Amino acid sequence: MANLFFIPQYIISGENAMKMSTEYMKSFGEKALIVTDDVMVKLGNVKKLTDALDEISVSYVIYSGINSEPTHTMIDEGVEIYKKEGCDFLIGIGGGSPLDSMKAIGAVVTNGGSITEYMGKKIEHKLPPTCAIPTTAGTGSEATKVSIITNTNTGVKMLLNDPKLMANLAVVDPTFTVTVPPGVTAATGVDALTHAIEAYTSLKAFSMSDIYALSAVKRIFDNIYEVYTNGSNVEARREMAIAALEAGIAFSNASVTIVHGMSRPIGALFHVPHGLSNAMLLDVCLDYLKPGAVARLNQLAKTIGVYRPGMTPDEGADAFVVATKALLRTLNIKTPEEFGIDKEEFFNQIPKMAEDALISGSPLNTRRTPNKDDIMNLYKKLWDK
């Protein structure tokens, strides 16, 4: 079977990646719309970008309204600013929300209509030039052809998936992640781990996606606890930034599975950050998918070093699941209850969440096909821990 492999046109990684990227940004246009959030402005990360743009005499306007999981109204506002200000390219800087929003704004700028009309649709016209600068090691959005935007009219997190959403330039500078607090470091790191595990166990996995998925899983297991407890370790931050990039490439090509399908409804209805909702679900979903993915989970056990000679494939798969659950415990991932979600309200929404998860299509990539009852039971298990 033939497979098409997507990757950003340019990737610049390592310390001082921002400086090296300016010659490419200069070729993109004369005025950039910078898509970000207030935290990036306050931390000074946006100033690092604007200082670099000032040095190459590129104009810009800052849109810092992406202060939560992105909604269709945020995209509408960004499109209006882009057109009103006469921008001709886009830069997203921040976590996955600004990067996804940057892509969505670009799609509407050249294709028209409302982003609410884009779910499951092919994007006909290419976006303006786009540059993605991640400041967390998590979503991998800098290297994906995916954008997730909540339609607040329907309460659905829309999955947009099209090669035209791939950024032209990804700038992966680990120094941006040093200021990320431990809780966010853990949640975003587990988000990247989930991307890699799901890409590797997806029915759509193939040799090229496997290379990136396996490398990402190893880097994350080797470094996530270090960056969680010692965030100033730039070497470990670098490894996590590369892992997030690799995981993004892997899942953008091989797709995600049941965790992401179930995660989006939690985010849409209860405003849980995407990385955290993935982290909440990974524990229970690994148990569910294991019977259909024994060989793949066994290989992951070998990759992270928990496989022991003489183990059967089933024992190896169990060893990986146990190691992952232990890692989640050390990272103190919040439960839905600890996040502040009301149990009764959550349970009332389970039928809708299960339906929305299945509609997204992602759970059907799992190597054990779930039905609505399976997904409802997994949601309920989040409260058994």
User: pLDDT tens digit string along 17-76?
Assistant: 998 999 999 999 999 999 999 999 999 999 999 999 999 999 999 999 998 789 999 999
148 or 120: whose pLDDT is higher?
Answer: 148
**pLDDT over threshold 90, residue 168:** yes
Query: Are residues 306 and 323 in contact, defined by beta-carbon separation less than 8 angstroms?
Result: yes
Q: In which band, very low, low, confident or very high, does the pLDDT at 121 lie, cut at 50, 70 and 90? A: confident
Give the pLDDT of residue 385: 65
In this structure, how many other beta carbons lie within 10 angstroms of the beta carbon of residue 207? 8
Give the pLDDT of residue 274: 85
Query: Are residues 224 and 265 in contact, defined by beta-carbon separation less than 8 angstroms?
Result: no
Please give the domain boundaries of the chain with CATH numbers for all domains.
10-177 (3.40.50.1970), 182-381 (1.20.1090.10)
Task: Using a cut of 0.85, tell me whether the model's pTM lies above it.
Answer: yes
User: pLDDT tens digit string along 104-119?
Assistant: 999 999 999 999 999 8
Query: Are residues 347 and 380 in contact, defined by beta-carbon separation less than 8 angstroms?
Result: yes
User: pLDDT tens digit string along 274-326?
Assistant: 889 999 999 999 999 999 999 999 999 999 999 999 999 999 999 999 999 99
Six token digits for residue 267: 């985010």
Six token digits for residue 48: 């690092």
Residue 31 phi, psi dihedral angles, 5° rounding: -145, 125
**pLDDT over threshold 70, residue 12:** yes
Q: With the CA atoms of 78, 84, 86 and 91 taken in that order, what torsion angle do they form, in degrees rounded to the nearest 10?
A: -10
Query: Are residues 256 and 168 in contact, defined by beta-carbon separation less than 8 angstroms?
Result: no
Give dist(CA 285, CA 280) in Å, integer. 9
**pLDDT over threshold 80, residue 230:** yes
What value does the CA radius of gyration of the chain take, rounded to a whole number of Å?
20
Give dist(CA 6, CA 116) in Å, integer. 25
Give the C-alpha distances (Å, rounded to integers) separating 236 from 20, 224, 332, 359.
22, 8, 19, 38
Alpha helices in 17-155 (DSSP H): 17-28, 38-43, 45-55, 72-84, 96-111
**pLDDT over threshold 90, residue 15:** no
Give dist(CA 301, CA 361) in Å, integer. 28
Place of tokens 């995660």: 263
**pLDDT over threshold 90, residue 248:** yes
Six token digits for residue 305: 């070093």
Instruction: Name the percent of the chain lying above pLDDT 90.
Output: 87
How long a stretch of residues is the chain? 385
User: pLDDT tens digit string along 200-227?
Assistant: 999 999 999 999 999 999 999 999 999 9
Q: In which band, very low, low, confident or very high, does the pLDDT at 159 lie, cut at 50, 70 and 90? A: confident
Give dist(CA 297, CA 323) in Å, integer. 11
Task: State whether the Cα torsion 370-141-254-315 is positive or negative.
Answer: negative
